[in-house]
Structure 1
Amino acid sequence: TSEFEPEEGVNFSRLNGDALPDVLKSDQAVIVSLGAHETLGIVGTFALIPLQHSISLLSTTLHPADDDLEVYPVFAPTCHPVPVIAPSIDSNKLGFLRDPSRAIFLVQENRTGIEDLTGDVVPGFNNIWAGERGAWGLAGVHPVTAHSTPVYAHTTPPSWTQALESLVQAPAVDDDDDEEVLAEQVPVVVVKGPKRSGKSSLARAALNHLLGNFARVAWLECDLGQGEFGPGGLVGLWLLDAPVLAGPPFTHPREPLRAMYLGELSPQPCPDEYMAAVHAAIQLYQYEVQHPPVSLQGTSARRTDVVPLVINTQGWTRGLGEELMRAIEVASEPTHIFAFEEEARDESQGTIVHSGGTLPSASPTQVFSVAPAPASPLQARYSAADMRVVAHLSYLYAVGLGGRWDVSVPLFAQRPWTVTLGEGGVLKRAYLVGEGSEDVIPGDLPLALNGSLVALLEAPELEGPAYQQGSIPPEDATCLGHALVRAVRFAERMQLQLLTPLPPATLARATALVRNGAFELPPAGMLDWRERVPGGGVPDEGLAGVRWEDVPFFDAAGSGAIGEERRRFRKNLQRKNQQ
């Protein structure tokens, strides 16, 4: 629970209408004043505006702006550890509670549409946003109190704090030449460790920490199974200019600077293509992003002359996975490595720091050994597959990847884009890869694409047939985003009905698509969630007026369906160093 008891007019006040500054987009807000030993947890979707002193949450510190109010959106569903706001005592803009020993901030509503992405739309994620209105009367804002439903709080291990502080504090060195190198180096942070250790949380904290000093920070996604800014299967480079204050990735899909599609949950089936994509992304960063031209630097209180990089890696840390990790480190030449320990240790031991000598690099590398995030029952409640389901649905319901969602109607009732595939069409070629693709003949292509998740590619000039087995090398094409092929019409030419959050200008750049069976539309995306059945399940009448036996791609009985078996990998057929 929170260690904060609101008292109207003393440490808490409601504002509405004319009392709110024009910069705020909400009609209602509250002002909160936190003392040095008070904390406040909030569930839901909201925005924070620091007014006096700094506040910290999700391993990130937010500072009051010097000239204007800075608004920070926060997404805090109960399926992830909830952020706990604490003061960071270091110009009170509204003249409220001028006690200099307290941190003062504004909490306002932030309705984006994602709050409708709940158990009706995604089974198993019931009430993750905690309802319509909380105790303060704000829509989607639910302060955690002693009487609230129990939630799990986000905590920052001390070793994380020490590692993050190193990003803005140069280490002590004996050699003057090393000191000069450290002063000029651009931060490149690699975060690595086993699955469910907290890699993504620490990588986001590193991103936010760097954004305190730099106007923009690049993010290199190397985790195919759970991408931070998309539904996965990608190696990509994103450019961020604002902190990411959210636990689950499904709350902040973004359009990449460049992404390459592999369509796998792990680099295990495609290590060569994986490293080719990683090398292409690192080269793009080093040659075009790290040192932007003066014309693009702009004016900011933060540094604009360089762009740091944060690399989020996959959780495969043994055998071939370890070799891939070493290759990423050599290619990226990191200044900092945050390495999670395989087993938790006593936090009182502090962080272990090494300088140089581990990587072939022109500058010293600081290697920090950090403790795993505290274990939470949420890890048992929600699996990686569950999070991929909600990530795919969040992506498909997103509006333009700009932080808005429309869940007013199910996917099959949304208006699609109609795109022609083949000669004379916008899409020149379709690639099929993965299990079962080798048996698809050209005449069966419409059936293979119908109802599937595909990646839209911007590829060079494509000549030849509209269908090809196997994919284009990932580094030779740019993945613009994902789409659902909702229907296929075939007359003189093949027309695809696509659902995608990509804006029209981006969609117009697509020249090819690729389908990999590793990623499929979740069953929840096929149903009409408006027809609720008490206790779960599906209505007996069918779907959208069609009887179940006539509904394609879906077996309501749940038995005997083709492809329903769980996929298994025969690890005993692999070499020992590949397991």
Structure 2
Amino acid sequence: MPARRVRPRRVPSRCAAGERRDEAAWREFAASFRRVDAVPPGGAELAAVEAAEGAAVLLLGPRQVVTFSGKCRLSCLFGAVRVGGFHVEPHQPPLPLLSPPTHCALSMEALPAARPAHSDPRQLRSAARSALRAHRVRRQARLRVMARFSPECAVLLLRHLDTAVTRFLLSLPPLCRLFQPRVGLGPPGSSAAPTPRRPDGRSARRHDEPDVPAEAAVLAAVGVVPCGPERGLLLSDSTRGALQELLRVCCEEDEGVPVIMVCGPKSIGKSTFNRYLINLLLNHLPSVEYMECDIGQTEFTPPGCVSLSNVTEPFLGPPYTHQRTPRKMVYYGQSSCEQDTERYIDVVKYVFSSYRKEVPLVINTMGWVKGEGLLLLTDMIRLLSPTHVVQMDVYDWKAMAPLTPENVHLAPGLYTKGKQQAKGKRMELSAAEGWKCSEGEEDASAPEYKLLYIHPEFPGAGAAGEARVHSSILRDMSILGYLGQLQPPDAASVLPLHSLVPYQVPFNAVALRVIHTDVAPTNIMYAVNASWVGLCRIPDEIRCQSAGPVLLTQTPICDCLGFGIVRGVDMEKHLYHILTPVPPQSLRAVNCLLLGNIAVPNCVFVSQEGIEGEIPYVTSEYNYSILGSGKLRKKHHPKKREYTLQCDDT
């Protein structure tokens, strides 16, 4: 994508489509931070000592568990500790831990350290003391730690965590208390005022706050607040059994490389299970492949993507804190595939073709498991040929049949037929030609995989309406986490997005396509301006003799290299102004912009600092009676997946 940087300019205002449907959910979400009940846990007494400014040493006794909210950077100085399934030991680099109230809280559990049976206690004390010195723990703190030390302890160093992404998230008013629950809050429903923050982002204690135990205050100064174990991850017996079985097969690899597909309804805990499983596997394997097929709740990318990622490090936080560029990614452009399942299948097969079967693969699926969703899931199992299917549901769930190999072999899919089905729905898609069956034929062989049943037992499991945070909020937060990468890592303060310098891209250098609906060429620039776009690469060379724009007549299945916001459109100079964190070396390969049904979060427009007067693109006087002002839903019928380039001189 030929591009050079230009100075920002004030773009012309345009009417937004009024208050978004999830605005009420955002208000409820922001208010929920005033109801966080963060109290020191019961059980064994905490042993925490201030080690330095913004750092604390925490001693955990054998098998002691501390569940917490907040964020910190963890180093294990002595012993071993497990966090989110990953074992942290002294030889490993510091790990960022992010435990906001949007997800179940993280827990640190002391583990028995692997050492010789007849180790000398004096040598172990000496090793612990040396580790404290090496990390520059204050002498007085070292003395206090060693006074309570025993060889069975785990000695942890917690440091204040501050990154460009967390600073950007905390700069937005709805998220200003995302990682800062207060110690000693009253019961849920109390209307405590937000805790003020220091310039470095940490919370400053108010004079009217109640006294708290010294150990809890030490941890709170780092950014960590202990809380009750009920807020952490609750592993049922069936979950533990499935994790042990999957760990065994992935480490042994007696029968090839495992392909694990995780299925279940919404809000059942699929993503949490996947994170724990991958972290557990990384204790024994150098890497794990992860394929994201849930376009509504993605793990490593903004919403609307199907992707394949190679995971080499544990991820100990929610998706919006670890956005990264996958090895293979396609921008589907919507948070649900119900309106165009044919293209969704095309995209899944295209991404899956990049898997080389060298390391275990974990596949996440959508929570749409009713009606056509279950039929589509049956097709997915036949297409991806997993070796293990993890089916998650609650005991009284009736809408999802058991996904046994026998049932999948007999049942019809959305586009494939079962053994006893006379005729299946036919696909005319090039990516699914391998599935076509002639009249009267049956699928040749039954799928071969092992089914593992999991019954999560956390409160509200499987009840989408009782989710901790509305799904639309989490999608917006993933976009905000991605945009946080625009912040310079060494900046002293957060830079508003409108102050950053965008790239300028000529109209005729990139092809343009609106994915989710039809837009007249004369209105295409109104749709693109101030929109979220996928920066993609199509194999065709862009050739346009005029100034453009270049329009695609069909949506291509192509690689997506990242995302950006169309900051403005210069119709006189025929330029797009695009704000993106994608590095310049990757931007050179971009020759296509895809606009989908994923919107820029409202707070990007209305909550940025430094804007005075009228805010561009925002209005409170929008006429909803105007034809086309509502959200369009268009059912896409099967069509041949071809596209052509069209130059528009308008």
Q: TM-score range by the shorter chain?
A: 0.7 to 0.9
Match of 1:141 among 223, 243, 246: 223
Structure 2 gap segments, 5+ residues each: 1-39, 116-123, 130-145, 182-194, 196-201, 204-215, 410-443, 638-650
Match of 1:332 among 384, 387, 391: 384
3-state SS of 1:56 partner: strand
Change (3 A) 1:231 1:364: same
1:86 is matched with which residue?
109
1:31 is matched with which residue?
57
User: Counterparts of 1:65-80 in structure 2 under 5 Å?
Assistant: 68-80=91-103
TM-score (norm 2): 0.68
Distance 2:321 2:628 in 1: 29
3-state SS of 1:505 partner: helix
1:367 is matched with which residue?
451
Change (3 A) 1:395 1:361: farther
Whether 2:580 is the aligned partner of 1:500: answer yes
User: Counterparts of 1:158-557 in structure 2 under 5 Å?
Assistant: 158-170=237-249, 183-246=254-317, 248-286=318-356, 290-291=357-358, 307-343=359-395, 365-372=449-456, 374-375=458-459, 379-380=466-467, 382-399=469-486, 408-422=494-508, 425=509, 428-435=510-517, 437-438=518-519, 440-441=520-521, 443-463=522-542, 466-474=549-557, 477-492=558-573, 494-516=574-596, 518-530=597-609, 544-547=611-614, 551-556=615-620
1:2 is matched with which residue?
41
Distance 2:288 2:310 in 1: 6
**Identity among equivalent pairs (%):** 23
Change (3 A) 1:501 1:125: same
Deviations 1:37-77 (A, max 9, x none): 5321222221222344432333x131425xx3332211111
Distance 2:222 2:598 in 1: 32
Equivalent pairs counted in the alignment come to 494
Whether 2:232 is the aligned partner of 1:153: answer yes
Query: Larger radius of gyration, structure 1 or 2?
Result: 2
Deviations 1:495-534 (A, max 9, x none): 1111112122122221110112x11112211124437xxx
Per the TM alignment, residue 407 of structure 1 is displaced from its structure 2 partner at its CA by 7.2
Change (3 A) 1:33 1:528: closer
Distance 1:415 1:464 in 2: 28
Conserved 8 A contact 1:32-1:107 = yes
Change (3 A) 1:201 1:562: farther
Per the TM alignment, residue 200 of structure 1 is displaced from its structure 2 partner at its CA by 0.5
Distance 1:491 1:211 in 2: 53
Deviations 1:309-359 (A, max 9, x none): 1111111112221222222222322222211115469xxxxxx99899967
3-state SS of 2:577 partner: strand
2:83 is matched with which residue?
57
Deviations 1:125-152 (A, max 9, x none): 7444336248226765222258xxx993
Aligned amino acid, residue 618 of structure 2: F
Aligned amino acid, residue 385 of structure 1: S
Aligned amino acid, residue 483 of structure 1: G
Change (3 A) 1:561 1:74: farther
Taking only aligned residues, the RMSD between alpha carbons, in angstroms, comes to 3.7
Distance 2:246 2:591 in 1: 41
Change (3 A) 1:570 1:444: closer
Structure 1 gap segments, 5+ residues each: 17-26, 172-179, 292-306, 346-351, 532-543, 575-579
Change (3 A) 1:397 1:204: same
Per the TM alignment, residue 159 of structure 1 is displaced from its structure 2 partner at its CA by 1.9
3-state SS of 2:366 partner: coil
Conserved 8 A contact 2:63-2:111 = no
Distance 1:481 1:158 in 2: 40
3-state SS of 1:155 partner: coil
Per the TM alignment, residue 250 of structure 1 is displaced from its structure 2 partner at its CA by 0.6
Conserved 8 A contact 1:181-1:363 = no
Change (3 A) 1:406 1:221: farther
Aligned amino acid, residue 107 of structure 1: L
Distance 1:397 1:106 in 2: 27
Greater shift, 122-131 or 99-108, is seen at 122-131
Change (3 A) 1:198 1:565: farther
Deviations 1:541-560 (A, max 9, x none): xxx3343xxx5432235774
Conserved 8 A contact 1:76-1:83 = yes
Conserved 8 A contact 1:108-1:138 = no
Change (3 A) 1:88 1:75: same
Aligned amino acid, residue 161 of structure 2: N
Change (3 A) 1:70 1:160: farther
Q: Which has the higher contact order (CA 8 A, sep 6+)?
A: 2
TM-score (norm 1): 0.75
Conserved 8 A contact 2:535-2:562 = yes
Whether 2:151 is the aligned partner of 1:100: answer yes
